[in-house]
Structure 1
Amino acid sequence: MTNTKKFPKWLGITIAVILCVSLIVGWKVYQVFLGASVTETQKYLYIHTNDTYENVLRRIRTENIVKDADEFDYVAKAMSYPSAVKAGKYRLQKGMSNRRLVGDLRGGYQEPVSLRFSNIRLKENFAGFLGRNFEQDSLQFISLLNNEAEAEKYGFTKDNFYTMFIPNTYQIYWNTSADKVIERFHEEYKKFWTAERLEKAKAQNFTPVDASILASIVRGEALHNDEMPMIAGLYLNRLKKGMLLQADPTVIFANNDFTIRRVLNKHLTIDNPYNTYKFKGLPPGPINMPPIVAIDAVLNPSAHKYIYMCAKEDFSGYHAFAETVSEHLVNARKFQKALDERNIKK
């Protein structure tokens, strides 16, 4: 007769309890590491240069970036993140796991800033724009834009440095230092000024800076891109004849009053190198940041004999062009009458 021992009931219960606990712990660990954690309260997590792990964890708590900050903390420490904090702008997606979020942060896998700009009038406006898009503030950017040594480093003067910034779309990391952001713009500037563009500028006896300065005036005059080559051709005609440019946008810039809608004689008396009613040739710098279409209009101007223009009286934004003073005076009287009828005095 075979003697078999009966399996102890207590042992079976113990094994069952251990299995249940293991499953519960395993499920909990899975949820902590791989379960949905990131909320939709924030689109990005910004980690500043010199931030410590404590700074990051505090931000995650206060901005409710994850469902449970203590669980994030546990995963972060398990993955050795506290000693590997990297600054940057990190995109957050609802439902991301703690493991993925920590992996992105630890690896420095930030999303670059997609920077697109155009029609920014002044350096101060541009500095403000950059300050809103990067870790460095606007004061750091304007100090560089107004720095003679910084301008000379790239072959410009403080007055014409603004011509180096070509409106386009740029991919730059949020925590890039201000000087490196400027350097990135210079790289784009060099790519923009191709051999073909340089040759066209040379044909006008222009440097790239000259072309950009005139383009800023064309941009100031034109409300419609399709008219830019005509306006560029007119100003080139004036330059070739040795005439004053007499560009109203430069007078407005010289007076530093961009509310002026009607340039009057009192505005023309200002003793400022940007007043092209008093000073021959191009002003020392641009009066705005000219778009690519305006620069290309200067490089590819319309061929004509016009040397005068006046805004059309229909306020369409287009101009009436003339070759002679008498023709121009007829156009000017029409526009002045239209201004008077609308009671536009300044």
Structure 2
Amino acid sequence: MLTAHAYAATSATEPLAPMTIQRRELGAHDVLIEIKYAGICHSDIHTVRGDWGPASYPLVPGHEIAGVVTEIGPQVTKHAVGDRVGVGCMVNSCRECASCRRGEEQYCLKGMTGTYGAVDRDGTITQGGYSSHVVVAEDFVVTIPDALELDVAAPLLCAGITTYSPLNHWGAAPGKKVAVVGLGGLGHMAVKIAAAMGAEVTVLSQSLKKQEDGLRLGAEHYYATSDPTTFEQLAGTFDLILNTVSAQIDLNAYLSLLAVDGAMVNVGAPAEPLSLQVFSLIPGRKTFAGSMIGGIRETQEMLDFCAEHGIGAEIEVIPAEKINDAYERVLASDVRYRFVIDTATLS
């Protein structure tokens, strides 16, 4: 087995620390990836700190992985040594259920295998991208186009596809008015992608402190939700609202901003329940929905779209020893807009 350098959580309360982990031997359809960059997602923090339930420790987080193929199994046909590739939030699924057959492995009816903290096919717990190497089945590895640098591409494997998928599904396009709630790691990608799709984009943020950034990233309008007149002024405006924040918000207030047949889609995942009044939906035939990531096919489509439109994440590259500091800064909203670990600093 291959020994890889990594940064891991040993409990819900201790800082992440360096350790070595074992990667499985290559199977016939596996690829070995030398990880170059790994993004830090808010989900990583939720998971290692037990916000979404008990975790198995030690745990190596990271599901925004960009790297280079260094070895392939004997029956691999989709990737070759030297290919620039990415791995997102899942590394396997049943491949047989209706969702998998549709190319929506993220909704596998038997449960997709997460990139970290899940039971792998050999019975071990998967370990993620805060590491030097990873072994992944070729069907769950995507190609990173040459037009995208690996560091700005890494966050696309979660933040990019998490926002692209609902924007694609609910039809963000010319003539559509799209609001993005929150301008963070997810929100800034939503703005870029929705604008590239041709939609008229509005950012709804607590304050105007990031207004200049929002407009630079592609939004045409920017409003502070701390101002109660915002909700009066924008009532009945939007075809689609994408909520990217992982915090308590007044759903009923935001639903009032939807036009008839509009949809509000949650991609942020707060640990606490949200309260919803059904009469916020019935008048206007409105929809409140959720969305995860996309399937492998759609993830590749997203990467190709981003390459075509020159879209990468806004990042701050950090060495491994800054991971714990980065976690605290994410929680304090002190990053514009995604931390990316230079995995060369792990060894």
Which structure is richer in relative contact order (CA contacts within 8 A, separation 6 or more)? 2
TM range (shorter): under 0.3
**Higher strand residue share:** 2
**Higher helix residue share:** 1
TM-score by length of 1: 0.26
